[in-house]
A and B are shown apart, each in its own frame.
Chain A
Amino acid sequence: MIETSVGLDVTVEYFALFRSCARKSLEKIHLDESAPAALYDALRARYRFPLAKELVHLVVNDEYSPWDKALQPGDRVVFIPPVSGG
């Protein structure tokens, strides 16, 4: 769990490449700022995600969300690496 000062709690779920890097499927994180980009940058540094933010889509509460929309307490966040189904 990444601890900071005051702020909001969110849940981050990991899939595919990011799950492999983080070695976990889910964690609760306490944030001191609500910008999803800051969260991604922190996780990218912590788990060495090999993808720049520009290559990743943001999903909040099971819906695609723009990067400039602030996170809210209790949000479930998923960062989507490039897909490869089919």
Chain B
Amino acid sequence: MFRLTEAPIEIRAMRDTLSNPACGGFVSFEGRVRNHHQGSEVVKLEYEAYPKLAISEGNRILAALKQKYGLSGILCVHRTGELSVGEIAVWIGAIGVHRRECFAAVSEAMSLIKESVPIWKHEWYANGDDEWVRCSHEHEEAPADQVIRHGRPPSGPHPVATIMKEDGRRRY
């Protein structure tokens, strides 16, 4: 299940929803707000979502991963609204019989969510600038299995949309 919330994420409550005595593996990931981006000091950020599509797309991703890895359960909660440095922006948990499938599913879920769920990050910097950020997931994990991608946008992943300004920071 994929959720959006404007309130701080209650980790304990999320963990408690993933419980099964037949499962020996539980893996979770917290994405936290960094205090820097591309060399600039981040003072705050805001996440904006297209709620209906974000939830349907997030649920499609999680359902596919649950089936692919034979999980007992997988859950993701993503914050919207204004966040401070250090706050949890996204939490993903997966429970399964063994650890390997849980690690793989959580990592793949994070990649796919960053790639195709309509949520946007707006950062404010100490120098007074602000920008809508383009995530650099193209530099991170290897692409997820094509099986998971069938419901994604018809034209595939977003190409990199960058204009490098004089300070070298990635911008639209």
Shortest CB–CB separation between residue A78 and chain B, in angstroms?
6
B136-172 CB mask vs A (1 if < 8 Å, else 0) is 0100000000000000111100110101000000001
B113 at the interface (CB under 8 A from A): yes
List residues of chain B with CB within 8 A of the CB of A13. 50
Q: Are A64 and B31 in contact (CB under 8 A)?
A: no
B102 at the interface (CB under 8 A from A): no
Q: Are B119 and A83 in contact (CB under 8 A)?
A: yes
A40 at the interface (CB under 8 A from B): no
Shortest CB–CB separation between residue B142 and chain A, in angstroms?
16
Shortest CB–CB separation between residue B16 and chain A, in angstroms?
23
B95 at the interface (CB under 8 A from A): no
B68-95 CB mask vs A (1 if < 8 Å, else 0) is 0000000000100000000001100000
Q: Are A17 and B172 in contact (CB under 8 A)?
A: yes
Q: Are A85 and B172 in contact (CB under 8 A)?
A: no
Q: Are B118 and A66 in contact (CB under 8 A)?
A: no
B117 at the interface (CB under 8 A from A): yes
Q: Are B118 and A15 in contact (CB under 8 A)?
A: yes
Identify B120's interface contact among A57, A65, A83, CB under 8 A: A83
Q: Are A62 and B135 in contact (CB under 8 A)?
A: no
Closest to A54 in B: B159
Q: Are A86 and B110 in contact (CB under 8 A)?
A: yes
B3 at the interface (CB under 8 A from A): no
Instruction: State the CA gap A85–B89 with chains docked (Å).
Output: 9
Shortest CB–CB separation between residue B119 and chain A, in angstroms?
3
List residues of chain A with CB within 8 A of the CB of B117. 83, 85
List residues of chain B with CB within 8 A of the CB of A78. 50, 53
Q: Are B48 and A15 in contact (CB under 8 A)?
A: yes
A36 at the interface (CB under 8 A from B): no
Of all A-B residue pairs in the complex, the 7 with the closest CB atoms, nearest first, are A85-B119, A16-B120, A86-B114, A82-B158, A84-B135, A84-B121, A17-B132
Q: Which residues of B contact A (CB under 8 A)?
A: 31, 47-50, 52-54, 56, 78, 89-90, 110, 113-122, 132-135, 137, 152-155, 158-159, 161, 163, 172
